[in-house]
Amino acid sequence: MRQERGGDPPGDEKVFQVLNAKKAISAACKRLGLLAYSHRSFRRMFITRCIEKGVDVKVIAEWQGHRDGGKLILDTYSHVAPKHSTRMAKLMSDTD
């Protein structure tokens, strides 16, 4: 799209228009044959993925615009996936 427009959009010009994110996500899900997702679904997936990858909770909170140092993220995402929990336990038993 950028090549068609001659490079990066100047200033605040958008590469493409999205007037309503909710409708855009809904239409994309229908087109792709996916279950209905929302922006919250993507946010939840991103935060869960960050935690599973070992990103510091304080950093995730900062990325999300939280000012509580990660308390809300820890309270909300305290359910850790069993696979992640097993991997973290293994880190504690490995010898260096």
What pLDDT shows up at residue 5? Answer: 67
What is the arithmetic mean of pLDDT over 8-19? 68
3 state SS for the chain: CHHHHCCCCCCCCCCCCCCCHHHHHHHHHHHHCCCCCCHHHHHHHHHHHHHHHCCCHHHHHHHCCCCCCCHHHHHHCCCCCHHHHHHHHHHHHCCC
Confidence of residue 29 (pLDDT cuts 50, 70, 90): very high
Q: For 34-79, what is each residue's pLDDT tens digit?
A: 999 998 999 999 999 998 888 999 999 999 999 999 999 988 887 7
Which range among 3-7, 17-21, 64-68 has the greatest average pLDDT? 64-68
pLDDT band at 9 (very low <50, low <70, confident <90, very high): low
